[in-house]
Amino acid sequence: MKEKPIIPKIADTYSEQQDAKEDTSVFIFTFGDYPLIRVIDFLIYSRDFDYPITEIASNSKVNFQTLKKLWPKLEQDRLVISTRTMAGSILYKINTNNPVVKKLIELNNFLCWEYAKKTEKEQEVVA
């Protein structure tokens, strides 16, 4: 008799996905868990603060060497800007004046609201 292969269950809803992986944001869940998406997600949520590249890498859970490969394109496209130099380190933040960044923030806000509405409906059905 053949044994059936064990296939892991794929999360049907975002809330099931959240239970499986607590640190996944709606933005990452929607666009995929890729280094560039993680960096953009971190910068969007931390847009009021500036960080050195090393902290951006660690806070977005991206390898520093990977971020160094991605960084020139982010600077070239003006998605990030340097804000100041502190103790020899250049600090960066997301460029909220860039029209592309404005749309990404708007999209992120929309995704969060849609998730909140969906979660509220799911809770109403359970109650």
Reported as a single tens digit per residue, the pLDDT across 5-50 is 443 333 455 555 545 455 689 999 999 999 999 999 999 999 999 9
Whether residue 3 is predicted with pLDDT greater than 80 in this model: the reply is no
The helix-helix angle for 99-126 and 35-45 (nearest 10°) equals: 90
pLDDT in tens, 63-88: 999 999 999 999 999 999 999 999 99
Whole-structure pTM value = 0.77
The per-residue pLDDT for 125 is 73
The per-residue pLDDT for 33 is 94
The per-residue pLDDT for 58 is 96
Specify the residue for token string 């929607």: 30
> Which amino acid belongs to residue 14?
Y
**Residue 51, helix vs strand vs coil:** strand
Domain ranges across the chain: 23-120
The per-residue pLDDT for 17 is 52
Radius of gyration in angstroms for the set of CA atoms belonging to the chain, rounded to a whole number? 18
**Residue 113, helix vs strand vs coil:** helix
Of the candidates 47, 83, 52, 85, the one whose C-alpha atom is nearest the C-alpha of residue 68 is 52
The per-residue pLDDT for 8 is 36
The per-residue pLDDT for 50 is 95
Q: Which strands form 89-94's sheet, in the order they lie side by side?
A: 51-52, 89-94, 80-86
The per-residue pLDDT for 16 is 53
The strand pair at 51-52 and 89-94 is best described as antiparallel
| Per-residue pLDDT band at 120 (split at 50, 70, 90) | confident
User: What top-level class would CATH report for the domain 23-120?
Assistant: mainly alpha
